C-alpha cells in the first residue's frame, strides 16, 4: 500500500444560491481549480488553492447537519493559514470585504496573528512565527 502524507482540505459551507466567490481570489490570493455549478449557474462546489493548500466551498445542501456560519451567526471553526506577511493578508482580505476580528499583532508565544471573518462568515487566522 502506498503511503500518503495526510493533508487537510477543509470543506467550507456557503449559503445556497451563491454565484460569486471572488473574495477568496481577490482577498486571499486563492486560485479556483475547479467549479461544479448547478443548472441555474449557482455554485455547488468550488475547489480553491492558496499556495498549494486546497479547500472547498460547498453549498449547504450536501449535508443536513453542516451549515454556512451565516445561518447561525457564528462559526465553530477558525481556519489557520500560515503566511509570510500577516499584515498583507489581513489588509487584502479587508479590502475584498472581510471584517477584522482581531488586528494583526505579535504574541508572547512566538506568533504574529490577525483574524478576519469573510463575507460568508468563515473565520480566518493569518499567522507566522516571529
Mean pLDDT by 10 residues, the chain (130 residues): 74 94 96 97 96 94 79 90 96 98 97 97 97
This prediction's pTM = 0.89
**CA geometry: angle 40, 46, 51, nearest 5 deg:** 155
CA atoms lying within 13 Å on the CB side of residue 30: 22
Q: What pLDDT is stored for residue 70 in this prediction?
A: 86
In three-state secondary structure terms, 101 is: strand
Q: Residue 64: its pLDDT value, please?
A: 73
Domain with 86, as residue range(s), is 11-129
Q: Check residue 7 and give its pLDDT.
A: 78
- Is residue 69 assigned to a domain? yes
How much is the pLDDT for 1? Answer: 56
How many independent structural domains does the chain possess? 1
CATH number of the domain residue 109 falls in = 3.10.180.10
Amino acid at each position: 500500500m502506498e503511503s500518503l502524507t495526510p493533508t487537510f482540505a477543509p470543506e467550507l459551507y456557503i449559503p445556497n444560491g451563491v454565484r460569486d466567490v471572488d473574495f477568496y481570489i481577490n482577498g486571499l490570493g486563492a486560485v479556483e481549480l475547479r467549479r461544479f455549478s448547478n443548472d441555474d449557474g449557482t455554485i455547488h462546489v468550488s475547489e480553491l488553492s492558496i499556495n498549494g493548500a486546497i479547500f472547498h466551498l460547498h453549498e449547504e445542501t450536501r449535508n443536513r447537519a453542516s451549515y454556512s456560519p451565516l445561518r447561525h451567526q457564528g462559526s465553530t471553526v477558525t481556519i489557520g493559514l500560515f503566511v509570510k506577511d500577516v499584515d498583507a493578508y489581513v489588509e487584502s482580505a479587508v479590502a475584498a470585504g472581510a471584517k477584522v476580528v482581531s488586528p494583526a499583532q505579535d504574541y508572547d508565544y512566538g506568533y504574529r496573528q490577525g483574524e478576519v471573518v469573510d463575507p460568508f462568515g468563515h473565520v480566518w487566522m493569518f499567522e507566522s512565527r516571529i
